[in-house]
Amino acid sequence: MTQRPSLLDTDQELLELLRQEPRQTPSMLFASADSTGSKQYIQDRLAHLRDHGLAERPDRGIYQLTDRGQVASDHLDRYRDDRDAFWALVDD
């Protein structure tokens, strides 16, 4: 089983933004994100999502969801209510 990371508000927002518009750059995400005032923080959180198999970088500077990240982004409401059930869905 893949490690179950904590998803901060910014992580959840990035998953939602990447679900809405795949293949974005950190600059694009920073322009759309409400939860932070720092592009570096966006880059750090994208690295966190990549480290846990939720996002990937198919090309230099471009990020998109993995299949696992897509499932996670589709069920963020469950993460907020029941993290164990959320990760059971994502890891299934």
The stretches of 1-92 forming alpha helices (DSSP H) are 9-20, 26-32, 39-51, 67-74, 76-81, 83-91
pLDDT, residue 2, reads 53
pLDDT, residue 62, reads 97
- Residue 59 phi/psi, 5-degree rounding, is -135, 160
Which residues on adjacent β-strands are paired with residue 59?
62
Half-sphere exposure of 80 (CA within 13 A, CB side): 9
pLDDT tens track, the chain, 92 positions:
456 789 999 999 999 999 999 999 999 999 999 877 789 999 999 999 999 999 999 999 999 999 999 999 999 999 989 999 999 999 98
Contacts of 66 (CB under 8 A, 6+ apart): 53, 54, 55, 56
pLDDT, residue 37, reads 75
Q: What pTM, to 2 d.p., does this model score?
A: 0.91
Cβ atoms within 10 Å of 42's Cβ, excluding its own:
26
